[in-house]
Chains A and B, each alone.
Chain A
Amino acid sequence: DAKTTQPTSMDCAEGRAANLPCNHSTISGNEYVYWYRQIHSQGPQYIIHGLKNNETNEMASLIITEDRKSSTLILPHATLRDTAVYYCIVRVVGTGRRALTFGSGTRLQVQP
């Protein structure tokens, strides 16, 4: 799996967009970018994933650069409940036999 690099922590004002970057410069052509988050003491929560096109769902948007070496998770209107550790994971799909590697992630603090 390609290595990912994320900032250790970020702050965001409530109601503003939170933009969380992830660098994955060694990503392979068949690897997807996944985002999870873990709210304090809870199990990780899947957010979104993409291969090369931008993706949007009810939780967030994922912007992947054209060269696929970096991506940004966007929470359009952050709320206090979005305070969590956000993990960027790069993986091939469907192997079923390897762990999801969560790394250290970015600790997002949404400020009132």
Chain B
Amino acid sequence: NAGVTQTPKFQVLKTGQSMTLQCAQDMNHEYMSWYRQDPGMGLRLIHYSVGAGITDQGEVPNGYNVSRSTTEDFPLRLLSAAPSQTSVYFCASSPEGRDTEAFFGQGTRLTVV
């Protein structure tokens, strides 16, 4: 059982480039979310989804898009990367009705130069 899998683990982008961070879970969880964690700071919610076809914005959604076409996958797209998006990105999933019991991926460390 792989849990929550994020790819890639590391990425360097140039300013203005776009890319997609992948997140997949094999636990049939309804709820999935994306967080970013900046050095010395807590996690901030970017976007979340309560099920396939349903997404919504979190605290810091600007510059990011998401979609949820299947239960398993929840990709995060950076539209035009900026240095301020340099961060560690975590994807998480939770069972329906138990959103506070989250399983996190190992993170994607993104650097925008």
Please indicate which of the listed interface residues A91, A102, A103 has the most CB atoms of chain B within 10 Å of its own CB: A102
Q: Which of A46, A91, A99 contacts B59 (CB 8 A)?
A: A99
Q: Does B101 contact A (CB under 8 A)?
A: yes
Complex Cα distance A42/B6, Å? 12
Number of inter-chain CB pairs below 8 Å: 61
**Contact present for A102 and B97 (CB under 8 Å):** no
Mark contacts of B94-113 with chain A using CB atoms, 8 A cut-off: 1 yes-contact digit, 0 otherwise. Answer: 00011111111111000000
Interface contact B98-A45, CB-CB below 8 Å: no
Contact status of A44 and B50, CB under 8 A, knowing A99-B45, A99-B58, A102-B43:
no
Assess whether B48 is in contact with A49, with CB atoms less than 8 Å apart.
no
Residues of chain A whose beta carbon lies under 8 Å from any beta carbon of chain B = 32, 34, 36, 41-46, 49, 89, 91, 93-104
Q: Chain A binding site: helix, strand, loop or mixed by DSSP? A: loop
B90 within 8 A of A: yes
- Known contacts being A93-B97, A94-B97, A94-B98, is A99 close to B104, with CB within 8 Å? no
| B45: chain A residues within 8 A (beta carbon) | 98-100
Total B residues in contact with A, Cβ cutoff 8 Å: 27
B44 touches A99 (CB 8 A): yes
Asked if residues B42 and A32 are in contact (CB atoms below 8 Å), the reply is no
- Given A43-B104, A44-B90, A91-B100: A97 touches B50 (CB 8 Å cut-off): yes
- The CA-CA distance from A46 to B31 in the complex, in Å, is 15
Q: Which of B31, B58, B92, B99 has a CB less than 8 Å from the CB of A43?
A: B92
Contacts of B59 in A (CB 8 A): 99
Query: Distance (Å) between the CB of B31 and the closest chain A CB?
Result: 6
A-B contact pairs, 6 of them (CB 8 A): A32-B100, A43-B107, A44-B104, A49-B101, A96-B31, A96-B99
CB of B35 closer than 8 Å to a CB of A: yes
* Chain B proximity of A40: nearest CB distance (Å): 11
